[in-house]
Structure formats: C-alpha cells, structure tokens
Amino acid sequence: MKQIIRLTLFAFCGLLVHYADAQEQENNRPNVVYILVDDLGYGDVGCYGATKVKTPNIDKLASEGKIFTDAHSASAVCTPSRYALLTGQYPVRANNGKGLWGPSPVTSELLINPEQFTLADVFKNSGYTTAALGKWHLGFGEGENTWDKPLRPGPNDLGFDYYYGVPVVNSAPPYVYIENDRVVGEDPNDPLVYVGRGKDKEVTPITPIPPEASQRTANMFKGAVKAHKLYNDYTVGTELAGKAVDWITEKTTNEKQNPFFLYLATTHIHHPFTPGKNFQGKSDAELYGDFIQELDWMVGQVISTLEKQGVAENTLVILTSDNGAMLNLGGRNAVKAGHKINGDLLGFKFGVWEGGHRVPFIAKWPGKIEAGTVSDQLICNVDMLATFMEVTGQNPNSLRNTDSKNILPALLGNPEIPVRNELLLAASKPTHLSLRKGKWMYIPAKGSGGFNGSKPQHHAWGGAPAVAFVGGTNSDIENGQIKEDAPSAQLYNLEEDKYQTTNVYNQYPEVVKEMGAALETYGSQE
C-alpha cells in the first residue's frame, strides 16, 4: 500500500513539475516587435556604414543586439517581399504558381488566401495579441477591390487583431488611413469613391509636395474629404509612431498581459520624401537623409516605450527592410551629397543584383542575443515564419508547404553549420528569378531584371545606367550599358566578390550547370 502511495505521489509531483515548467515557458514567451522599413538600403544607417545621416537609435539597437551582413528579402519588390514575410513562401508560389512580381495595384484583391497560415497566426496560436501598423500593400477583398466597405478580407482575416495604417503605399492612392476594415474619418454622406486615373478635376485634393520629394501618383478617389484631410504626407511618421506607442502602452497596462506581436511596417523611407518639420534639413543627405533620420526617431519612440512599460528585457526586436534602396530622384540627390544608399553593393530596388535584396537586419533580445555581435549567416525574410514558431515554443518542423527555415540558432549564437544553404531571389521580372547557393549567386540572364531609367526626368533608375551613376564597377558593364559580348547569364563568387565586380560565368561551366539545374527545381521561368 505504501509503495502505491509513493508511486502516486511521485507521479503527482512529476505532473506538478511538468506543469510548472510549462507555466514558466508560458510566462517567458517574449513579446516580438518586427519593424519592416520600406526601401531602406544596405548603406542607409550608421551601423552599416552611413556617414551622411545620423541614426543613433538604430545604431544603439545594433550595439545591444546582432547585425546580419548577409540578410535578404525574398524579392527586390515590396509586395512580393511582404508576401514572403507573412506566408513563409517564396513569392513565385503565389497566384496559383504564377508568382507575384510587381507592386500590387490600387484595385488589388487580398493577395494572401485567408486560409493560408501566416506569421500572425503563429502568434495567435500561442496566445499572443497581434497588430499590424503602417503600410499594407497586399490588397483587400475578393476580386477587384472597388473600395466599398467593409474592406474584407484584409489584415484582420490573416491573424491580426488590429490594423491601422496606409492601405497601399505613401506614393499611391487612396491617401487615407484604414483602421481594421474601415476608412478613418469616413462619412456615409461623403463616401470614398474610386474613379481611376486621369480624373484630376473630380478627385479630392491631397497634400501638396515639391518636385524634389520624388514621384507620387495622382489621387484616383473622390469624396471622403474629411478622411483625406486626416492624411498629411508630412505627419505620417508621427501618426504611425504614435499608434505604435499607444498600442504597446495599452497592451502592457492591462491586468492580464498576454504577450504581444507588433508588425510595424513604416512608409519611411519610400518616396515621396516628406519628413516632418522637425527633421527637414537636419541630415547631410538631402530629403532622403532627413527621412531616414525621422525613421530613426520613430524607432526610438518604440524602443523607449518598451523600456518605459518595463517589457524591453523580454522583447525581441527586429529591424529590417522589404528590399534594397531605390535610385529615384531623392536617392540620386542623396548620392550626389555623398551618401551611399546601398553601400558598395551592386544594383538597386527591383533588380536581382545584391543591392536590390541584401538588406540591413538587426535583432535585439536581452539575455538571449549577445550584444554587439555580427553574423555572416545567410538568412531571408521568408524565414521568419519558422523562426517565430520556435520562438513561441511551437515546432517549426510541423510546417508544410513552406520555404521558411528556422534561423533562431543564428540569432542566439554562431552555429558552424549554415542555417540556410540556398535561397531563391526574385527581381521584378520572372526572367531574372535567381539562386544563391553557398558562395555562389546565379542569375540566368543579362542585367539586373529591374529598373533601367537613366534620364534626369526618369523616376525609376536602375540597371547598368544606375551603376554608372554611382560609380560602380561590373565586368559586364561599359559606359552605362551592358556589353554586347557579355555572357548570356551571370555567376558571382560572393565570398571573394561581395560587390559583384566580376561575372565568372564563363570560368565555371560546371557550377553554372549545377546552379541552373537547381534553379529549375523551383519551376520553369517565363
């Protein structure tokens, strides 16, 4: 009898220990703040080498955490990059295998199936409160979006409890804020009405901006006068920072504090460059640099709120970019002022050269990530889904139909084995879907596959002319043009030639053959 009692007590104590361990793991789940900056280039912040802009808050984040030098967005384009982040799938998988290649238009439907498992779902499944603030640019509704209310399905149908932000991008209409599935400031007697392009006399006026702020698409909506007045290009940064501060404060003052996940997708530093009055003229890199410094202030607002609310020590903060920097008018003015928007990397946004998708990636997690460290591990934004599964105590190996890799070992330490061996990288053109494998980068075509503007009046510069503009060097380029006798495709040894100065396609036919075959396993390219 005593033996039975002892065994029963032993089993009961074991259950208590297991329950206590589970409770400890439950209580120690970190909050997560993921700051996705728009068009922030590899050379745009101090901790990555910038000297013409001051980014003390971002630099402090880096000094207290870890910098990655080989981090990438899955696409050099905003919408497909965001698709990869939220779904853990390469953008080529989207649209029933046709892929996502360019920015979604104003009338786009929601580009992620509500049945798809998302980054926000990872956190919801673990009891987190979730929010998406800022730029969305993944569409709303089913079929063509005519902007009738409510705007469903949308962020609220993909695992986010709350959404507030800019529905498309700060350079495209509608120039209003959306809260959950409604236009902020909407008036039933003055609804938002889509009228399309070329209706300048019908549309509602928007904030005037100077030409040097860079391109902004004309409004395509009439009505909603009050809602349009609430949106001012020069106060978007203040508005989104304020929303982030308020949301974090609210979620950390409740009696029952669930852990939280905040996806803060800034419109900074995407064109038009409209920094608030307090930041205008404060950098040494024109409006482009001023916009970066306002971004840095926004990051500081978020970090200081975490500290004020006493949750900074148990919060994982990640700051990165959706793609590389763009050589628009603002970018060109910054370059003329001596600022290297993508550092010394080759290429720019929309193109598959390194400058289009190699991005800053900074992670801070007190007590978990060693302060002041640097990693050269190959990682990608598509990896966040599996990584956050591990962070929240779920099994990333349970994921199906995903391209996401668990990079937590690279965040927390310095593993000898690479967390990722190869990576599919997309430009805006399907012809330039490319493959990174170890030290090799293979591009199955000439050029960057992105923008090719070269004239002063052109908004979108890229490719060979843009390389010439910034004084870059590449063996396939001469006088701002791709040489006629350049190889039909490109191969770079990034271990020896990070800046892609020399195309070694002709020197390594076996590597080309191997890389081409590996690329084919991801599906045929159009």
> 89-115: buried (b, 16+ CB within 10 Å) or exposed (e) per residue?
bbbbbbeeeebbbebbebbbebbbeee
Closest CA to 368 of 390, 385, 384, 383: 390
The neighbour count for residue 131, using CB atoms within 10 Å, is 24
Could you tell me which of 68, 114, 111, 44 has the C-alpha nearest to residue 324? 44
What is the signed CA dihedral for 146, 148, 149, 152, rounded to 10 degrees? Answer: -30
Contact 249, 120 (CB under 8 A): no
Helix (H) or strand (E) holding 3: helix 2-27
State yes or no: is 47 an active-site residue: no
Host H or E run for residue 99: none
Element spanning 440, H or E: strand 440-443
CA–chain centroid gap for 378, Å, is: 16
Spatial neighbors of 197 by CB under 8 A, at least 6 apart, are: 218, 220
Handedness of CA 300, 305, 308, 313 (dihedral sign): negative
Radius of gyration of the chain (CA): 24
Distances (CA, A) of 276 to 14, 238, 293: 59, 8, 10
Exactly one of 78, 271, 380, 432 is catalytic; name it. Answer: 78
CA-to-CA dists, residue 456 to 209, 327, 334, 339, 460, angstroms: 19, 11, 15, 19, 10
Query: Alpha-carbon distance 39 to 309, whole Å?
Result: 30
137 among known catalytic residues: yes
Single out the catalytic residue among 18, 47, 72, 137.
137
Alpha helices in 252-328, H assignment, sequence order:
286-308
Tokens of 178: 């959306």
Q: In angstroms, rounded to a whole number, what is the distance separating the alpha carbons of residues 403 and 383? A: 7
Question: Three-state SS string across 388-447, please?
Answer: HHHHCCCCHHHCCCCCCCCCHHHHHCCCCCCCCCEEEEECCCHHHCEEEECCEEEECCCC
Say which residue the tokens 């990869």 belong to: 84
Residue 20: what are its φ and ψ, rounded to 5°?
-65, -40
With beta carbons less than 8 A apart as the criterion, state whether 72 and 381 touch. yes
Instruction: Give the closest residue to 319 by CA, choosing from 349, 356, 363.
Output: 363
Element (H, E) at 66: strand 66-68
Task: Give the residue numbers marked as catalytic.
Answer: 78, 137
